[in-house]
């Protein structure tokens, strides 16, 4: 936790209301996201109990497993959920965009939109991940055949869960994580995992402050848990008798209707909180880099959708080369995401200024027409002295860029008490005179940082066939030597 986040938490505790951690929204919020509020049976890792789903706050769909221990009912539930999710996927593609050919000259397309799934918390993400793992390998033929929508649902849920791990992706989002990215509360991070308590601090009901609303959220009767785990008292006193009554009466009975009403009562409060959270996020102005990250999400969705019929289900474990490539991609994405958030938001950049990775101040001296004539050709290298009160923990020679215009790059030449001398090296045009407005004038407020969207490039990984057998490749040809060679000869 940064010093600025800690200060915001202290201010929230003193004021009794959440404090902003961002001035813009750092995630995409679709016009019609698919909200999923799942519940599972206690003590059963992958036994679904119910889910409330829909793309409009006034039109939820309730799917229930009356007896979660019944395999047929569970996979019937998975088939119904699969049809709902797949319909959302197919209706969220938008118009097809034609893109310029790639490096190899191949034609490329991108869907104009992509599906977005919203769940209440990280537990909901883990439930979808586990459900995808338990359904994507199911057979649609044979003695234990399932509906064809079940393995398709499993593959898509696995893909969404993998995209959730990708920094900056908005295809699958946990509402608690999205809200915590933009507001700080006066409670612990563990308590922030409770959606009702978190919303109580951010948007308390009339006549209540954050602590009172959060305390009210701890009452499982007034604010049922957001799932996927249910309250133990509810399990023992309400759910267990309702399932037992269904077992005695059978499907289509009033006992089944009673069970549906009981589960709807548990899910409806969280459903309403989810849509309040969507409204809060939509009220924030969108960050400048959000559309670019959403483009990458749409690229990933387009590729997976186009190749879905040709690919096999995702493996239970990644082979070594794919695991290394995926880890490298996640590290690059995290590096770019941190920089983009800082460039978009002065509050986020303030955390880096406190940490010494950035500095802001006023230009005190400027030589915009300075040329470096030490090489064969003169180069435009303006000098800029920035007066700053920030703690600068960067070394001389470090490359930095402007937070307002990342293309404007420079190199630290000197660090003195209260000032930093910079030599600008890029982002001023290709002539020996800078473009108008490219070099900050004396008196201008500036901020420079060592953050960069591409601090390291893409690495090259070998094909599986070119790796040793210890990393998934074929075993090498055996050539006997020494005593083994003598035995082979004999």
Per-residue pLDDT tens, the chain, 490 aa: give them: 678 888 999 999 999 999 999 999 999 999 999 999 999 988 777 789 999 999 999 999 999 999 998 999 999 999 999 999 999 999 999 899 888 887 666 788 999 999 999 999 999 999 999 999 999 999 999 888 999 999 999 999 999 999 999 999 999 999 999 999 999 999 999 999 999 999 999 999 888 888 999 999 888 888 899 989 999 999 999 999 999 999 999 888 899 999 999 999 999 999 999 999 999 999 999 999 999 999 999 999 999 999 998 888 888 888 888 888 899 999 999 999 999 999 999 999 999 999 889 999 999 999 998 898 888 888 999 999 999 999 999 999 999 999 999 999 999 999 988 899 999 998 888 888 888 888 999 999 999 999 988 766 777 888 877 787 777 777 666 666 666 555 544 4
Q: Given this model, what pLDDT does residue 4 score? A: 86
Q: Given this model, what pLDDT does residue 470 score? A: 75
| Coil/strand/helix, residue 129 | helix
* Cβ pair 174, 120 in contact under 8 A: yes
The Cα–Cα gap between 178 and 26 comes to: 9
Q: Given this model, what pLDDT does residue 466 score? A: 79
CA dihedral 484, 487, 489, 490 (to 10 degrees): 170
Q: Given this model, what pLDDT does residue 98 score? A: 87
Q: Which residues pair with 286 in a beta bridge?
A: 25
Tell me the H-state helices in 104-253.
Answer: 122-135, 149-164, 175-180, 189-192, 195-202, 210-217, 232-234, 240-249
- Looking at residue 236, the DSSP 8-state letter turns out to be I
H or E stretch including 423?
strand 419-426
Q: Are strands 399-402 and 383-387 parallel, antiparallel or unpaired?
A: unpaired
Q: Are strands 409-416 and 96-99 parallel, antiparallel or unpaired?
A: unpaired
Q: Given this model, what pLDDT does residue 353 score? A: 92
Q: Given this model, what pLDDT does residue 490 score? A: 44
Q: Given this model, what pLDDT does residue 1 score? A: 64
Q: How far is CA 327 from the centre of its chain?
A: 15
- Asked if omega into 320 is within 30° of 0 (cis), the reply is no
The Cα–Cα gap between 403 and 444 comes to: 13
The Cα–Cα gap between 483 and 227 comes to: 65
| Coil/strand/helix, residue 192 | helix
Q: Which residues pair with 54 in a beta bridge?
A: 35
The Cα–Cα gap between 218 and 197 comes to: 7
Q: Given this model, what pLDDT does residue 489 score? A: 45
């Amino acid at each position: 936790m940064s010093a600025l986040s800690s200060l915001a938490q202290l201010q929230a505790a003193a004021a009794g209301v959440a404090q902003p951690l961002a001035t813009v929204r750092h995630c995409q919020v679709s016009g019609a996201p698919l909200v999923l509020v799942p519940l599972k049976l206690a003590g059963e890792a992958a036994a679904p109990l119910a889910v409330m789903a829909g793309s409009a706050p006034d039109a939820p769909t309730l799917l229930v497993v009356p007896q979660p221990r019944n395999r047929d009912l569970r996979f019937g539930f998975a088939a119904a959920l699969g049809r709902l999710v797949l319909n959302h996927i197919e209706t969220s593609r938008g118009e097809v965009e034609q893109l310029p050919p790639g490096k190899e000259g191949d034609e490329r397309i991108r869907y104009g939109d992509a599906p977005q799934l919203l769940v209440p918390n990280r537990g909901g993400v883990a439930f979808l991940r586990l459900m995808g793992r338990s359904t994507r390998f199911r057979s649609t033929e044979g003695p234990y055949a399932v509906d064809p929508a079940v393995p398709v649902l499993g593959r898509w849920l696995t893909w969404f869960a993998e995209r959730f791990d990708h920094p900056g992706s908005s295809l699958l989002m946990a509402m608690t994580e999205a809200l915590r990215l933009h507001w700080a509360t006066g409670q612990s991070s563990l308590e922030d995992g409770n959606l009702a308590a978190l919303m109580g601090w951010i948007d308390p009901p009339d006549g209540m402050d954050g602590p009172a609303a959060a305390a009210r959220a701890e009452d499982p009767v007034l604010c049922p848990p957001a799932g996927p785990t249910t309250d133990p008292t509810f399990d023992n006193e309400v759910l267990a008798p309702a399932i037992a009554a269904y077992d005695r009466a059978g499907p289509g009975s009033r006992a089944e209707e009673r069970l549906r009403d009981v589960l709807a009562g548990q899910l409806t409060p969280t459903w309403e909180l989810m849509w309040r959270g969507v409204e809060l996020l939509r009220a924030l102005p969108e960050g400048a880099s959000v559309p670019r990250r959403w483009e990458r999400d749409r690229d990933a969705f387009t590729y997976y959708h186009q190749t879905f019929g040709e690919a096999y289900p995702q493996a239970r474990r990644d082979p070594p080369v794919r695991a290394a490539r995926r880890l490298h991609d996640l590290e690059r994405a995290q590096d770019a995401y941190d920089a983009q958030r800082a460039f978009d938001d002065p509050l986020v950049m303030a955390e880096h200024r406190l940490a010494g990775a950035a500095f802001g101040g006023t230009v005190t001296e400027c030589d915009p027409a300075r040329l470096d004539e030490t090489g064969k050709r003169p180069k435009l290298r303006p000098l800029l002295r920035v007066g700053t009160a920030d703690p600068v923990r960067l070394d001389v020679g470090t490359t930095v860029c402007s937070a307002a215009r990342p293309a404007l790059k420079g190199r630290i030449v000197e660090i003195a008490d209260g000032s930093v001398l910079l030599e600008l090296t890029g982002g001023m045009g290709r002539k020996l005179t800078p473009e108008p407005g490219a070099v900050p004038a004396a008196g201008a407020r500036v901020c420079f940082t060592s953050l960069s969207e591409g601090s390291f490039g893409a690495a090259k990984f070998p094909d599986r066939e070119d790796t040793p057998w210890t990393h998934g490749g074929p075993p090498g040809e055996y050539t006997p030597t020494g005593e083994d060679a003598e035995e082979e000869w004999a």
